[in-house]
Structure 1
Amino acid sequence: MRLTLLAACLLASSTVHAQANDAARKLAQEAVIVDTHIDAPGILMDTWADLGQEAKDREFDYAKARAGGLDVAFMSIYTSPKQDADGSAWQTANAMIDGVEALVQRHPDKFALLTSPKDVEHLRAGGRVLLPLGMENGAPLVDKLENVRFFFDRGVRYITLAHSAPNRLADSSYAAERPWNGLSPFGKQVVAEMNRLGVMVDVSHLGDASALEAIRLSTVPVIASHSAFRHFTPGFERNISDEIAKAVAARGGVVQVPFGTAFINPDSAADMQAHFRARQAFDQRNAALKAQGKPQEDREAFEKAWADAHPVRASTLAQVLDQIDYGVKLLGIDHVGLGSDFDGVDGELARELRTVADYPNLVAGLQARGYDDADIRKILGGNLLRAWAQIEAGAGK
């Protein structure tokens, strides 16, 4: 089903790409476009694809990136709560990093690893797409503070402290239980160590109390790598509140807007929140049944029933632009950027933003809404690179 949906998305992408005018395409190629959240490594773990060539079932590959003007694509090193629980998160994260390194080694003329904003200009020469690493979920750190340094040395430049369940560091926005009501003692140590090394603290996915404490404790700017604004999706804690977004901006950070339907369509956001809660309740029931020695419920049947009752909805470029407009009005032009979540939302994306080839459509939309080229360059990547440079400059201080 995923491949069929993505094939349809890619067909749609080739249709809408022409909507971008010459000025938009030119600016997309000239500006430095930074996307802080692309889930290509997870798919590489499941089914290897040579992303140096056109990969028709993927939203990110070299050909699409160059067509869209993408320069800096943060590769998401994602691990799940299940992998945290079964002890495989550390190995999984390392295997994903191995995969990104292999991609670069196979195509040194097309890709390069990026570990500092200072290196963007010279590394992107010749049309290379630069691949910094962002760790989505702090689970691979296990309970060893030295693992922050270990993954820094492997190229990780931001860490999303938690994902869809509470972990050793922080609470999740999706989960009902909040064991820390902020950061754990270990989470506080991790934030300090990230500051010391120059790793960006990412508050996307965190429960509100955890996000606020991370911002308060950080001595340098923090980011939200892929968080839409909760203003449009009331009650959906996964999206960032005005209070937290203002706190991010006040410290010099950036809120990176995603393109996924589940984040920008209010009904889809409500479905996603309900799905996570229903899945957690399902897991709790099965754990109780297992403890009693009784047969467990079938997960595949549960997921199918949920999908049947909650059909996929649509979203549009206009909704993404509304998010950016709102962020700019709330925070100022210097604190909004892009974190698409390409290859991470099963093709459920705004119609005109189906792959990394489609950034010119976004540029055209911003132009149509009155943004000048200088401000568009900030949104496309300048803001994130400025915040990253500040975080790097603050390392060790």
Structure 2
Amino acid sequence: MDKFFTLFLIGLVISASCQTIEQQAAEIHDKVFTIDSHTDTPLKFFNSDFNIGVEHDGRKGQGKIDIPRMEKGGLDAVFFAVFIGQGERDSLGHAQAFEKAEQIFEATHSEVKKNKKKAKIAITPEDGYQLEKKGKRAIYLGIENGYPIGNNLDNINHFYDLGARYITIVHSHNNDISDSSTDKEGPEYNGLSAFGEGVVERMNELGIMIDVSHASDSAFYDVLELSSKPVIASHSCARALCDNPRNLSDDMLKAIAENGGVIQMCILSDYVKKLEQSPERIEGKKAFRKKHSNWSNYTEEERKAGLRDWYQLDVDFPPNLATVSDAVDHIDHIVEVAGIDHVGIGTDFDGGGGLQDCYDASELGNITLELVKRGYSEEDIRKIWGGNFMRVFREVAAK
């Protein structure tokens, strides 16, 4: 029996050694818990014919995420962002932003409930792992842009009760909380506002992750100095590889590592690699901005039309996109500077994210394949695809 058992073990070793790198990567991808920390998919829920339970074609402007493509791409969990574009910073503007956020939360809960056999809203880190065991997709919620908080800290409690587990404190323009990294008017507070300091404290108290993607460098450091818990950059890359103010410098990467937080590498090409775009696409985007210059005052129908036009841009004028290899260069750099325990993945699908060879959620396994090709171990990949982010999630949620 010992002889036969030995031969059996030798056979297993030989079989394993014959496994292709593609098979090895697919096996690892299937085994590890995978989470995408940032997508803008709820923007699609205001289009009445969109159902996340049905497979769509991203290359026809139909979005990058749905449950069938999550299944194909081996994506176990995702954060859907309740995105609110920056509008007027007065009582009416804040009230409208608050109402819009509530509508998006409601639409997202409703959309997921319609597909309850396949997916469920998740609240805690443990929910994600439990749903994975049941073969369901975990849908987490975040807010992109703290604008709907207005000037009322209690609104943070309200959004927490609706399921928000992180808040990206600012977006493309300064708000009442923080300076943005990309506001053309420049800094307003040289970091966080006094109200923003209260926002950080309240989020710490409630156990909501603070997202520093889009924040100015000064605001980034203000958050890290004030926060008693680790922070996240839900969709950012390394500035050393792509000099974009939305990306993080090496000093910022080191600071997040010292804070215990995590940088979620983004696959929006503008943050991955500087690429020339066709004159047709440039003109198409100019025409779009001219046509849709008053988003904050749009009716629901105008907003739907604007979103359709936005997604149609990529159909009519396909962008020149970076590759998975380009994106994983950022993971390599973040690992080198911040360490393997402080990097993850936040695609920004449906907000501009997508690569030549990872265009939508169905192709996410290509990232794992590239990681395997570069010598990352299964444990490394487990950390990158969810372990690091979920560790921070647990630490922040702990009371």
Taking structure 2 as the reference length, the TM-score comes to: 0.81
1:227-261 CA distances to partner (integer Å, 9 max, x unpaired)?
A: 01111122x21111111121111111000001111
SS in structure 2 at match of 1:122: helix
**2:253 corresponds to 1:255:** no
Tell me if the contact between 2:79 and 2:139 (Cα under 8 Å) persists in the aligned partners. yes
Counterpart in 2 of 1:43? 44
Report the alpha carbon displacement of residue 46 of structure 1 after superposing the two structures with TM: 4.0
Moved more, 245-254 or 41-50: 41-50
**Is 1:376 equivalent to 2:381 in the alignment?**
yes
| CA distance in structure 2 between the aligned counterparts of 1:248 and 1:192, rounded to whole angstroms | 18
The aligned residue for residue 78 of structure 2 is 73
CA distance in 2, matches of 1:267, 1:340: 18
* Structure 2 residue runs without a partner (length 5+): 1-19, 295-305
Q: After superposition, what is the alpha-carbon deviation per residue over 1:129-172, rounded to whole angstroms, capped at 9, x for unaligned?
A: 11111110001101110011000010000001100000000000
Give the partner amino acid of 1:240. L
Verify: 1:31 aligned to 2:36, yes or no.
Answer: no
Establish whether residue 315 from structure 1 lines up as the match of residue 313 from structure 2.
no
Q: Counterparts of 2:179 and 2:77 in 1: how far apart (Å)?
A: 29
Alignment equivalent of 1:365, drawn from 367, 370, 375: 370
Counterpart of 2:177 in structure 1 is 169
CA distance in 2, matches of 1:73, 1:268: 31
Query: Aligned partners of 1:218, 1:161: CA distance in 2, in Å?
Result: 13
Distance in 2 (alpha carbons) for counterparts of 1:141 and 1:161:
10
Q: Contact conserved, 1:261 with 1:314, CA < 8 A, in 2?
A: yes
Distance 2:346 2:203 in 1: 21
Residue equivalent to 2:230: 221
Percent of paired sites with the same residue: 33
Q: Are the counterparts in 2 of residues 20 and 360 from structure 1 also a CA contact under 8 Å?
A: no
Unaligned runs of 5+ in 1: 1-18, 287-298
1:89 to 72, 97, 104: 97
Where do 1:1-397 residues align within 5 Å? Answer: 21-56=22-57, 57-82=62-87, 86-87=93-94, 88-176=96-184, 177-234=186-243, 236-267=244-275, 312-345=319-352, 349-393=354-398, 395=399
CA contact (8 A) 1:204 1:225 kept: yes
- CA separation of 1:361 and 1:215: change in aligned 2, threshold 3 A: same
For the pair shown, the structure with the greater C-alpha radius of gyration is 2
Offset of residue 182 of structure 1: 1.1
Alpha-carbon distance in 2 for matches of 1:123, 1:321:
28
RMSD, aligned α-carbons: 2.8
Query: 2-side partners of 1:44 and 1:93: how far apart?
Result: 13
- Equivalent position amino acid for 2:245 in 1: E
The answer to whether the 8 Å contact 1:202/1:225 transfers is yes
Report the secondary structure of 1:124's partner residue.
helix
Q: Distance in 1 between matches of 2:327 and 2:237?
A: 9
Query: Is contact 2:53–2:68 with CA below 8 Å preserved after alignment?
Result: yes
The answer to whether the 8 Å contact 1:109/1:126 transfers is: no
Shift of 1:268: 6.3
Whether the 8 Å contact between 2:127 and 2:138 is mirrored in structure 1 is no
SS at 2:133's partner residue?
coil
Aligned residues: 347
The DSSP-based 3-state class of the residue aligned with 1:212 is: helix
User: 2:36 & 2:222 partners in 1: Cα distance?
Assistant: 26
Q: TM-score, normalised by structure 1?
A: 0.82
Measure how far apart 1:126 and its partner are.
2.5
Greater shift in the superposed pair: 321-330 or 84-93: 84-93
Paired AA for residue 183 in structure 1: L
Q: Distance in 2 between matches of 1:32 and 1:385?
A: 10
